[in-house]
Amino acid sequence: MTEKERTNRAWYIGADRDEVGRAAILVGDPARIARIAEHMTDVHFVAENRGLKTVTGTRDGQRITATAFGMGAPIATIVLHELHALGIRNFLRIGTAMAVAPAKLGDFVLADGALRAEGTSNTYAPLGFPAIADFDLNTKVRSLLKKRGKPWHAGIFGTYDGFYTEMFGLSGERRSIIETLKQDIQRLGLIGTDMETSALLTAARILGVRASTLCVATVDAFSQEKIADEQMAVLERDMFEIALDTMATMAAD
């Protein structure tokens, strides 16, 4: 990062350099910020700006920041880019994804890479550039997933911009178009779909930092069935623990 790109205060997330830690967890839903804070000590909530919520806390002696971006690749990459400018070098997105078989509802899905079907990553690198997760980061996530003993899959995600046009059909006609798209991605062996991963992985590579995504598969790609809230609450706690332990290790490096 050049001196010009370095900043002391981030424009949209509103955080000062001394308010963020050495690694960052990116979540979508702002309600997850208070819940992940319960898994850290010495917690500091950054003043909320434009609905972007940030908390920094300590885990295993390391300062970790979690920021909620809301939904979609454009804002998720703004958050990553700003945290990068504040000096952070390790990023893990955690949240939810749509399950593509063999991944099923309630399984963890870890992105080793992602199909770039969103528009934001094109502003960082041309389409031939691969969206690949950081190998060391994913090695740590894999070892923690194995320890937890819950079902998980690692592989390629598909990342899309159009939630009701490409991922979740509300009308019969749109559902059949989306079903054809899902059959295509299943044939390619993708394990899940979301709205941010390929943009974050591409941006991180171009910015020279580590990134990956770990999600719970919460919606079935074909039936559009959703996971129960009580099951998600348990899995969310597992996901927080895995993410914080991973980022504490990465921050200590």
Ligand X SMILES: O=P(O)(O)O[C@H]1O[C@H](CO)[C@@H](O)[C@H]1O
Ligand Y SMILES: O=c1cc[nH]c(=O)[nH]1
Contact residues toward ligand X (CB under 6 A) are: 27-29, 71-72, 95-96, 163, 194-196
Work out whether 27 is an interface residue with ligand Y (CB under 6 A).
no
Nearer Cβ to ligand Y (181/219):
219
CA–CA separation, 197 and 158 (whole Å): 8
For residue 110, state whether it binds ligand Y (rule: CB under 6 A).
no
62 vs 67 by CB, closer to ligand X: 67
Give the gyration radius of the chain's Cα atoms.
17
Those residues whose C-beta lies under 8 Å from the C-beta of residue 87, and which sit 6 or more positions away, are: 6, 17, 20
| Closest separation in Å from C-beta 98 to ligand Y | 4
Contact call for residues 159 and 117 (beta carbons, < 8 A): yes
> Distance between CA 122 and CA 22 in Å, rounded?
28
> Out of ligand Y, ligand X, none, which partner does residue 29 contact, by CB within 5 to 8 A per kind?
ligand X
Return the closest-CA partner of residue 71 out of 99, 101, 51. 51
Q: How far is the CB of 64 from ligand X (least distance, A)?
A: 18
Tell me the closest approach of the beta carbon of residue 185 to ligand Y, in angstroms: 13
197-226 residues in contact with ligand Y (CB under 6 A) are 218-219
Q: Whose Cβ is closer to ligand Y: residue 112's or residue 194's?
A: 194
**Does 96 engage in binding with ligand Y (CB under 6 A)?**
yes
State in angstroms the smallest separation of the CB of 227 from ligand Y. 9
Residue 137's binding partner out of ligand Y, ligand X, none, with CB under 5 to 8 Å set by partner kind = none
Q: What are phi and psi of 248, to 5 degrees?
A: -65, -40
Site string for ligand Y, 59-78 (x = CB under 6 A): --------------------
Per-residue x/- marks for ligand Y, 169-198, CB under 6 A? ------------------------xxx---
Single residue of 24, 37, 83, 98 touching ligand Y by CB under 6 A? 98
Say how many residues touch ligand Y, by CB under 6 A: 10
Query: Greatest CA span in the chain, whole angstroms?
Result: 53
Interface with ligand Y by CB under 6 A: which residues?
A: 96-98, 167-168, 193-195, 218-219
